Amino acid sequence: MLNKTLAELAKGLDQGEFSSVELTQAYLERIKREDSKYNSFITVTEELALTQATAADETRAAGNATSMTGLPIAHKDIFCTQGVRTSAGSKMLDNFVSPYDATVIRQFNAAGAVTLGKTNMDEFAMGSSNESSFYGPSRNPWNTDHVPGGSSGGSAAAIAAGLAPAATGTDTGGSIRQPAAFCNLTGLKPTYGRVSRYGMIAYASSLDQGGPMAQTAEDAAMMMNVMAGLDPLDSTSADRQVPDYTAKLDAPLTGLKIGLPKEFLSANLNPEMATLIHAAVKEYEALGATVTEVSLPNTALSVPAYYIIAPAEASSNLSRFDGVRYGYRCEDPKNLEDMYKRTRGEGFGTEVKRRIMVGTYALSEGFYDAYYKKAQQIRRLIQEDFVRVLSEVDVIMGPTTPTPAFKLGEKTSDPVEMYMEDIFTLSLNLAGLPGMSIPCGMNNGLPVGLQIIGNYFAEEKLLNVAHKFQQATDWHTLKPAGL
């Protein structure tokens, strides 16, 4: 019963092939047996999972099951989960047992889903490789010498290794799409505001967005049906109707207009990656789509703009970690300032400290116009590029990442090199647009992701576009050797 998609598992539960308790136990056993290779979980919530699975089986027996009832999933350890340690991958929150549930957790619980555990991640979601986690890096099941991507690397590794059929992630600059690409998964970063941020530990509040990571677009649609919607507890959540994301998955793509940005497919792109992207686009042409070249001239500026805006917001958000109300506190503080400084110096890892310092510097007296205001102006230009292009085409396609998964340790010595990894994903967060990554081929035994970008609140269209590709190809069904 393992190695199935959420939709297949839902069918198995419906037809009584197995119970949620049996399914959950099978996953828990596999996690216990296999996860030392991948380090994809920070906390396995065995007791909670079995309690939820038992309740789900009772709900089903009473005839009240819905599409998510009894399905086990994993949650990124950035979503506060009542009674469970919620660490955000940081020593700062290693002792933090959340007193409340994030809205996303509450939604999945209410839908009857089963929580297998909390997945590994870059500390406070700051990273593109999962190497900044306090709990050690997670590893890519396709090749354990390589990173699974980040920051939702544990979620990606767990699904790719068959330790969870699906998981939640968050995406501030590519943290759902890039690990999905590196691990041959389907990941969706929704429009800013589509999924509630309440209880999702904040990194950069104007960019953060939660979303699904799964094996198929169909599964991602099932999860979006649970996650999306207005939340009075998040003042930035969008007050817009939520469609049934599974309803139009099969709609034909005849006449779909695809834009290929020349900046995403420049001569600098790894030629093997470019070949796979062009082959995927050809597949779409066979499905009835038309393709035109488009231009997003400010793409390159998304890196510097992001690395001002995100650290600036992070320096403010992470000021809450002061050793007073929750989390780590240093031993024997001499005075208040000593307590703040040592708590934060000892509790945060190097990359988090670096970003807090960049943000603090950018917001310090006299630098605001040169850095923060300038970055927000560039953000406007990036958004205008997208708005212009998306008035001409339905979706934009290109690579999710410049290369397939790199090796552990390959980029840790130079943060700037690591930041360049995000060049194709950052611009969407700055503009607030939705985007997906879906599998579109293999390069030297490692997966390659096709990125699909749509207009504001066009998640339904994106899932349709991704699903039709997955009906016509089988890249998404490939599994690492031995699975």
Partner 1 sequence: MALNRTDVEKIAHLARLQIDESSVPEYATNLSNILDLISQMQSIDTSDVEPLAHPLDAVQRLRADNITENNQREHLQTVAPSVESGLFLVPKVIE
Site for partner 1 in 56-115 (CB under 8 A): 96-99
In the annotation, is 175 catalytic?
yes
Residue span 299-318 as binding mask against partner 1, x where in contact by CB under 8 A, dash where not: -xx-xxx-xx------x---
Q: Which is nearer to partner 1, 55 or 381 (CB)?
A: 381
Transcribe 120-153 into DSSP letters.
--SGGG--SSSTT-TT-----TT-TTB---SSSH
Single out the residue of 166, 294, 378, 423 in contact with partner 1 (rule: CB under 8 A): 378
Q: How far is the CB of 479 from partner 1 (least distance, A)?
A: 36
Among 374, 410, 473, 479, binds partner 1 (CB under 8 A): 374
Confirm if 260 and 281 have CB atoms less than 8 A apart. yes
Binding mask 433-472 for partner 1 (x = CB under 8 A): x----------------------x----------------
Question: H/E/C letters for each residue in 189-243?
Answer: ECCCCCECCCCECCCCCCCCCEEEEECCHHHHHHHHHHHECCCCCCCCCCCCCCC
Segment (H or E) for 245: none
Is residue 341 a contact residue for partner 1 (CB under 8 A)? yes
Which residue out of 175, 302, 315, 437 is catalytically annotated? Answer: 175
> For residue 462, what are its two tokens?
């994106």
Q: Which of 284, 371, 469, 475 binds partner 1 (CB under 8 A)?
A: 371
If binding is defined by CB under 8 A, does position 195 make contact with partner 1? no
Q: How far is CA 366 from the centre of its chain?
A: 35
**Interacting residues with partner 1 between 391 and 430 (CB under 8 A):** 414-416, 419, 430
Question: Of the two residues 293 and 334, which places its CB atom closer to partner 1 in the complex?
Answer: 334
Mark 221-260 with x for binding to partner 1 (rule: CB under 8 A) and - for no binding: -----------x--xx-xx---------------------
**Strand pairing category for 435-443 and 395-399:** unpaired
At closest approach, how far in Å is the CB of 107 from partner 1?
Answer: 19
Per the CB < 8 A criterion, the answer to whether 23 and 1 are in contact is yes
Nearer to partner 1, 242 or 303 (CB): 303
Tell me: does residue 206 bind partner 1 (CB under 8 A).
Answer: yes
Site membership for partner 1, residue 348 (CB under 8 A): yes
* CB 133, CB 107: distance < 8 Å: no
- With CB under 8 A as the contact rule, the residue among 25, 51, 143, 360 that binds partner 1 is 360
> Of 333 and 480, which has the nearer Cβ to partner 1?
333
User: CA triplet 132, 133, 138: central angle to 5 degrees?
Assistant: 100
Q: Which of 39, 136, 55 is nearest to 89 (CA)?
A: 136
Region binding partner 1 by CB under 8 A among candidate stretches 141-149, 287-295, 297-305, 436-444: 297-305
Nearest residue (CB) to partner 1, 12 versus 333: 333
Say whether 76 is catalytic: yes
Beta-carbon contacts of 384 under 8 Å, excluding residues fewer than 6 positions away, are: none
Nearest distance from residue 300's CB to partner 1, in Å?
A: 7
Q: Of these residues, 76, 118, 411, 461, which one is catalytic?
A: 76
Number of residues that bind partner 1 (CB under 8 A): 75
Q: Going by DSSP bridges, is the β-strand pair 257-261/395-399 parallel, antiparallel, or unpaired?
A: parallel
* 325 belongs to the binding site for partner 1 (CB under 8 A): yes
Tell me the sheet residues that pair with 200.
79
- Is residue 184 within 8 A of residue 322, CB to CB? The reply is no
Kindly state the tokens that stand for 44.
């396995």
Q: How far apart are CA 252 and CA 308, in angstroms?
A: 41
Amino acid identity of 293?
A: E
3-state secondary structure of 399: strand
Query: Does residue 181 bind partner 1 (CB under 8 A)?
Result: no
Is residue 407 part of the annotated active site? The answer reads no
Which structure tokens are listed for 223?
A: 């999860």
Interacting residue with partner 1 among 41, 264, 284, 340 (CB under 8 A):
340
C-alpha to C-alpha distance for 120 and 404, rounded to whole angstroms: 20
Active site residues: 76, 151, 175
